[in-house]
């Protein structure tokens, strides 16, 4: 480790950390927001479920280096435009998250929904007051997986020249300079941990009744899904 290099390049490191945050936060939020209605739809209709989950599976199968090149062609953006990375990461986020969201809404007991309807809840009230909160823990487990993989896949953007922490990896290779690669990996792991803390804190505020229970961890089922895009 070359500490002198780190000391004299704090500005560069800080800048790339900020770039990385700016590029990864929107896809995580987009993934959550879009997957809630789609997942709800998939939990209510068999046809929607099979179409949405297959589509998600196919999108997630596209290797990241290919998607990063396909997106600008499809959207008509310049290849260096950071929006390409945000869009590609959002595609992956939604693709993984739809399945979690569908599972989350399926996990809400039909009896509870029936009771809410019987007590006079309208469909909207029932959704926001009963189903969404009860789906919360499973949604949280899903978005934690999405957030970790988003932070790590984002680094692939360095190959097409979108500057963020991954640029340390390509630089390190070109200059045979190990320190840079280690700085990149450590920063990425720290950002993943930071997002995880933020998500669990927000969830603890929004879902106070889950606080006393052991933390919800992602179900092993999640790992058996195609992970081609996770690179």
166 within 8 A of 158, measured Cβ to Cβ: yes
Size of the site for other proteins (CB under 8 A): 62
Judged by CB under 8 A, which stretch of 8-16, 22-30, 141-149, 197-205 contacts other proteins? 141-149
- CA 90, 91, 92, 96: dihedral to nearest 10 degrees? 100
Residue holding tokens 């704090």? 10
Identify residues 65-124 at the interface with other proteins (CB under 8 A).
65-67, 69-70, 73, 79, 106-107, 109-111
| 21 counts as binding other proteins under rule CB under 8 A | no
Q: How far is the CB of 149 from other proteins (least distance, A)?
A: 5
| Window 57-76: contact mask with other proteins (x via CB under 8 A) | -x--xxxxxxx-xx--x---
User: What is the separation, in whole angstroms, between the first and last Cα of the chain?
Assistant: 26
How many of the other CB atoms lie within 10 Å of CB of 105? Answer: 22
143 within 8 A of 27, measured Cβ to Cβ: no
Dist CA 32 CA 142 (whole Å): 9
Q: Applying CB under 8 A, which residues contact other proteins?
A: 43, 46, 49, 58, 61-67, 69-70, 73, 79, 106-107, 109-111, 145, 148-149, 151-153, 155-156, 158-161, 165-166, 168-170, 172-173, 176-178, 181-182, 184-185, 188-189, 192, 217-218, 220-221, 223-231
């Amino acid at each position: 480790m070359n500490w002198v290099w780190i000391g004299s390049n704090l500005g560069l490191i800080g800048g790339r950390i900020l770039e990385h945050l700016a590029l990864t936060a929107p896809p995580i939020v987009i993934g959550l927001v879009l997957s809630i209605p789609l997942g709800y739809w998939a939990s209510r209709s068999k046809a929607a479920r099979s179409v949405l989950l297959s589509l998600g599976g196919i999108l997630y199968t596209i290797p990241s280096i290919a998607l990063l090149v396909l997106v600008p062609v499809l959207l008509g953006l310049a290849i260096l435009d950071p929006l390409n990375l945000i869009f590609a990461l959002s595609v992956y986020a939604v693709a993984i998250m739809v399945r979690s969201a569908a599972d989350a809404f399926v996990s809400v007991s039909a009896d509870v929904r029936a009771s809410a309807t019987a007590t006079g809840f309208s469909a909207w009230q029932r959704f926001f007051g009963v189903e969404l909160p009860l789906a919360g823990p499973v949604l949280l487990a899903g978005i934690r997986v999405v957030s970790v993989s988003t932070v790590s896949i984002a680094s692939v953007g360095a190959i097409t020249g979108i500057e963020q922490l991954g640029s340390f990896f390509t630089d390190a290779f070109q200059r045979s300079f190990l320190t840079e690669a280690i700085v990149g990996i450590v920063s990425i792991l720290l950002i993943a941990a930071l997002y995880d803390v933020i998500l669990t804190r927000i969830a603890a505020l929004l879902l106070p009744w889950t606080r006393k229970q052991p933390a919800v961890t992602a179900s092993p089922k999640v790992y058996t899904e195609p992970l081609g895009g996770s690179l």
